[in-house]
């Protein structure tokens, strides 16, 4: 082996050793923001859903009437809150998808995000969802297990 090849291998080894969770600090910061916004989003959606399921149907309002019921105003405000959270969430999700993962920790961040995006794959038991959904779900779960990161987003049906 020539000195050039040896030097290249040593340099490559140095790069691979530096590819630790520390290099995934950006992804970890994005994950913290994602976790916070998803928690806010779930709370806002639950509040909106509770209003919808617990309130009586609003009284009929003529088309030309001004204003609306109090529940309609609250519901509209909560919908705007959800929309605002989604608008703040979008660039964070984009950044997670665009950022490279340098370690299993970073890969875990990306897998958790994929689980959040593809949450419909957790609607039922693994053997009751289609083949492609099974493959993706099992891959995401395996990555999260190896990364020792829980699928902490509340999945549908859980």
Q: For 115-138, how does the pLDDT look when each residue is reduced to its tens digit (9 = 90+)?
A: 999 999 998 899 999 999 999 999
Tell me if the pTM is above 0.75. no
Say what the pLDDT of residue 136 is: 96
The residue among 75, 98, 121 that closes a domain is 98
Say what the pLDDT of residue 80 is: 92
Do both 108 and 148 map to the same domain? yes
CA torsion through residues 106, 107, 113, 119, sign: negative
Q: What is d(CA 157, CA 146) in angstroms, rounded to the nearest whole number?
A: 24
Say what the pLDDT of residue 145 is: 95
Q: Which residue positions in the chain have pLDDT lower than 70? A: 1-22, 50-71, 153-158
DSSP 8-state code for residue 102: -
- Break the chain down into helix, strand, coil percent, rounded to 5: 75, 0, 25
Q: What is d(CA 19, CA 35) in angstroms, rounded to the nearest whole number?
A: 24
Say what the pLDDT of residue 123 is: 86
Say what the pLDDT of residue 113 is: 96
Residue 1 forms part of a structural domain? no
Range of the domain at 89: 24-98
The residue among 80, 98, 116 that closes a domain is 98
Residue 22 CB partners (closer than 8 Å, separation 6+):
none
Say what the pLDDT of residue 59 is: 44
Q: What is d(CA 132, CA 138) in angstroms, rounded to the nearest whole number?
A: 10
Residue 6 forms part of a structural domain? no
Do both 107 and 142 map to the same domain? yes
Say what the pLDDT of residue 1 is: 52
Residue 83 forms part of a structural domain? yes
Element (H, E) at 64: none
- Short-list 148, 147, 158, 152, CA closest to 122: 158
Contact 120, 157 (CB under 8 A): no
- Short-list 37, 43, 39, 44, CA closest to 77: 44
Do both 85 and 126 map to the same domain? no
């Amino acid at each position: 082996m020539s000195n050039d090849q040896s030097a290249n291998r040593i340099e490559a080894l140095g790069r691979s050793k530096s590819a630790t969770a520390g290099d995934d600090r950006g992804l970890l910061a994005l994950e913290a923001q994602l976790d916070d916004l998803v928690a806010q989003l779930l709370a806002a959606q639950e509040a909106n859903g509770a209003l919808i399921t617990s309130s009586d149907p609003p009284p009929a309002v003529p088309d030309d009437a001004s204003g609306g019921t109090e529940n309609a105003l609250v519901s509209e405000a909560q919908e705007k809150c959800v929309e605002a959270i989604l608008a703040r969430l979008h660039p964070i999700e984009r950044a997670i998808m665009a950022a490279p993962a340098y370690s299993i920790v970073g890969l875990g961040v990306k897998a958790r995000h994929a689980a959040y995006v593809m949450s419909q794959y957790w609607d039922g038991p693994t053997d009751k969802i289609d083949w492609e959904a099974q493959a993706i779900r099992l891959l995401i779960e395996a990555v999260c297990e190896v990364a020792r990161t829980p699928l902490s987003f509340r999945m549908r049906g859980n």
